[in-house]
Amino acid sequence: MTSQLYRHLGKWLGVAGYMVQYGCIAHCTLEFVGDFVVCKGPSMEPTIFSEDIILTEHITPRFNRINRGDVIIARSPSNPRHHICKRVVALGGDKVKNGFHTHIVPKGHVWLEGDNNHNSTDSRSFGSVPAGLIRGRAVCRVWPLSELGGLSPTPSWHVPR
């Protein structure tokens, strides 16, 4: 009787151990290597449409190798629990035109804009964003399957300024 109990206990402990192990491996992969993101909202049309699933990698942002034209996922400056998907238009030190004003993006910050210029809440409303908020860089689209593949590069109106 007791031996049977021990055998069951051992088995369950083993299963729990495996779950912890794989949970940790999954956590590290999602946190440090890359993950899948469901994009919602129209701000990145026509590059990314609402409900598209994007593969992102977290290695470039960790080493601060973000470049102009990259599509990135960042924590929203107005709500740390939300994430935003935008395109990096300018890096620290660059000049950006916003309406009639010319801004100089401060050091350590980036200027984010959605590809859908008319329907996007981005740096034009909340200003430049600290680079520390960037969580990942979009690599390719994985859903819908018919559109699988890389994201279109910088749209024509995003010529460096």
Partner 1 sequence: MFRALVVGVPLGVTFVDCFGYVARVEGVSMQPALNPDTGITSDFVFLSRWRSRSFAYQRGDMVSLVSPKDPNQKIIKRIIALEGDLVATLGYKRRLVRVPEGHCWVEGDHTGHSLDSNFFGPVALGLVTARAEQIVWPPQRWQHLERRLPEERVPLNLRTASTKSSSIADVFDDNEE
- Confirm whether 128 is a catalytic residue: no
d(CA 152, CA 158): 12
The least CB distance from residue 149 to partner 1, in Å, is 30
Between 87 and 135, name the residue whose CB sits nearer to partner 1. 135
DSSP letter (8 states) at residue 53: E
d(CA 89, CA 112): 6
Of the residues 76, 86, 123, 152, only one is catalytic, namely 86
Which position has the token pair 């996007």?
120
3-state class (DSSP) for residue 143: strand
Residue numbers 102-121 binding partner 1 by CB under 8 A: 106-109
d(CA 132, CA 53): 24
Mark 22-61 with x for binding to partner 1 (rule: CB under 8 A) and - for no binding: -xxx-xx--xx-----------------------------
Between 78 and 119, name the residue whose CB sits nearer to partner 1. 78
- Confirm whether 50 is a catalytic residue: no
